[in-house]
Every structure is written in C-alpha cells, then in structure tokens.
Structure 1
C-alpha cells in the first residue's frame, strides 16, 4: 500500500489529519463517509477543508496507525512520515503540486499560502470500510486529478540511480573484502629468518659499528604483533531520522555495520574490523570511498 493511500485511509477513518510543517486536513464529524466504491463518495470530497498551520509534531495516534498498518517499529514509522512530507514540501517549494492520493492536492502560491484542491479517491486499496469486500472489476474508477508527469519521471530516475548505486556499492564491498582477506592470508605466512645476523660491536673509541657474527647463523623469528580491533566511525549525527535511514540502508548491504546511541539524541554508525596498525589508514580511505564516494575523508578511527 502506498504511503499516501495509508494517510487517506487514516483521514477518512478519523476525519482529521495533521501534517507537520504543512497544516491540517479535516472533515466535519457529521459527514458520513460511504465505501470508496459508492457513487456518492465524490460528494464527501467537497466537505474536506484545509487549514494552513505550523504543526511541530505528528499526532501519536497517526504514528501508531502507521506502525500497526506497516508492521514497522515506531522510529521507522516516524521516519517514513518525515520522508514523505519532506518530498511533498520540496515539490511545493519548486512550484509543483503536492498530491495526496485519495484526498486532494496542495499548491503553493507566490505569497507562500497553500491552496487545497479536493481530488477523487483512487481505487488502490481505500477499502477501509469492508476489508473482505471484492470490488467490481467492471467498474473503472478514474481519479479526478493526475500527478505531474515530471514527478513520475524524477521518481523513476531516482529508482534507477539507487539501483545502479547499490550494485556499485556491493561491488566495492566484494573487492575490499577480497583484498583484505588476501592481505590477512599474506600476514599469516611465517617470517623468513636471515642466515646472517649483524651484532653490534663497540671499538675502543666508543664508536658503534656492525659486522657479521660468524658464530651466529640463525635466530628464531620474533613473533609478529597481532592485529588489533579498530572502530571505524562512518558518521556521527544528532538527526535521528537521517541516522535511521542511513543505518537501514548500509546495514542491509553489510550486517556487520552497527549503530549506537548513549542518550537517544546522538547516533553513531560504525563497523569494527581487525587490522594491523599500519593498515588502518588504507582501510579508512577505502571505507570513506564506499560510504561517501568522492567526498573528503570523514571516516574516523577509534581503538
């Protein structure tokens, strides 16, 4: 179910929908909302009213509704709503209509005021009155408004870019992991012991020189320093929504990536890797290229 349709389902059930940063949609409590397939449903649309308000926070009831309908945890439900509204406000700011399927569309005027135009509900799963009712396929419901063609084009382009980016990231992970594995394999090979060892000899003038010691042909190899575990920090942020979105994306690509917070206000996305101290710089550059692309190095290292 599309997120906009989910909002329409909530609106026609509660007759009230507060959108943070945009305003409030409301329907008179005396209005009876029929089934969406009812021919009289269009009559309900003219009773929808919009009030432009500076809403700071979404209603808890709306977040709980999204959570129960999608099966997601509360922070992800909040993040989905924030992302949807951010896209809508972006469309409004560039002069495009922000369409909420099943309810109507908003348009921003030059004065900054938002104008609401009711729209006919789409057929896509607005069956909130009778869950088991099968709609008549012979009846075609045509929406009273169409979304901007440019919005569809941008959306499709974003999908293609995301797919290509995901494939590139997966390829980088495979290459980095293969190189790292080969490096660890090479480090585990036994060190070659020189057949000739130089020992310091002090002459009478207290000048230190080195010369071959003919009595010592071989000494046992000194054990190599074992690799340590380093914490490579991709990002620290106090923006909860961004932290959740970024973590969900990179964690799907590599489950080894973790996120932590000590106060629910500041979030850290990181990964722990075993490495030699001399190779932490190389790994940091590779991880930065994977996470940030061509941007300057932002990845940090903690023991």
Structure 2
C-alpha cells in the first residue's frame, strides 16, 4: 500500500498545492497560516495517469530511476484501491482518510495534522562521532580466528589420507607372509604324539581344538578384497566425483546400479578385523558415509 510513499506524497501536496491520483481524483491543499494549518480537500474526478512532476519528485526523494519510481507508485496505488473496494476507510498518511461508499462515491476526511512530523536535526559532529570503546571492541572482535581451525582440520585429514594410502600399499605384501607364519606356528605347536592318526576304516579323525583355533585366527587376519562403497549418486555428480578421486590417485571404480544411480566404490585388500577402521577413515576423508558390500 501507500505506507512507504504516503509521507512523500503529503510533502508534495503541501509544496505544490495539488496531487492527482489515477482512478481516485485530486487533493487540494490551501495553507493560510503555514503548513501546520493547511486545509486539504478532495475532488473526485477522472485522472488517467500520474503527473510527471509527482514521478520526478518521488524519484528524487527515493534515489530511484523514474521508471522504478513510477512502477512503485502504480503498484502501491493499486493496493490502496483494492483495499478501498472492501468498504473500509484508507488512510493517506499526512493527507487524510478516503472511504468508498455505495455508487462508487468517495468520502474524504482531512487529517488533523496535515504536515508530516519532521525529523530532529542531528548536529554533524554527533552524527559522525563514534565512541572509542565501540571502535576498540569491534577491532578485537574482527580478529581472524577461523584460519587456525581450518589448518588443524586440514592436517588431520591429510594424516588420515596418508594412513589409508600407506595401508593399502603395504597390506598386499605383508599379509601373505603373516598368514604363512601363523599356519606354520599352528602346525608345529601340536606335539608329534598328539597328531591324530588315521583309523583302520580309512576315515580321518576329527580336528583337534588347537587346529580349529589356529584356523579361525588365520581367517580373521587373512587379507581379502573388500569393496567399500564411497557414495551412491546420479549423473552428473557421479562422473564428477569419480574424476576428482582419480586425479588424487584413489583406486576408485564407477559401477552402474540401475538406470539412474551409480556406485563410486573402492576395492582394498583388508583383513576382516580392520574393515571397520578403514571404513571409518574413508568416511572422514570423503565426507560421505562409507558402507561395506558383504
């Protein structure tokens, strides 16, 4: 509505003695003893458009181009007329109140205080003086504190990435030897006298408890090709993320799961007991929750 522009229109009316609003009519102002005692009247008559002087005045006061000023005037006047069509009185601040009665006749009641209240003039020195305590407080608060946090996070991520890379490179070479040593120890730990002998029926006796424990330990520590799903997404995100990881030498693969979705996955030789630790490390580095394909 005219909430924002009404005070400016009131000032224009007191200065130019006349204000025409399209679709409503014309306001007239007569100042006999000064703006405070001005008498405002309303004349309902056809008005096709805003006076160019009104548009220029609003443009100058608001700092907007004339085209935008005219658009604001038309938009807010349209809202005011819609409000009047509901049968409720509409207040033009600093001018008066209009009420649309039956038959399309407008009734006007002038405002008792015609001139809008003036703002108190503030001396130049007061407008530009800022307390020293405020300046010092702002200076203290503006000190950069975030870079140190970012550096710490970056160092942690780099350390985790280096651990995963080193682990993926060394696991393939070290784990087979450890499995062989474990098997040999399991085989030699049983005394010669305790080795089960074949019975006369040709069937071998059941494995001893020591043999079962050794086999379970070897299975837990033996490396296997574990598939870690880094992310499930659609194009173009899938290809973009895949290429980003390839550029930093991650051994990733792109797998199509259906007509829309792709898996970005990584296959690593990992002992079963270490799969959870590797999964959590990849989750921290990639920023996405990593899952394991069983």
Band the TM-score falls in, shorter-chain normalisation: 0.3 to 0.5
More helix by share: 2
If the length of structure 2 is used for normalisation, what is the TM-score? 0.40
If the length of structure 1 is used for normalisation, what is the TM-score? 0.39
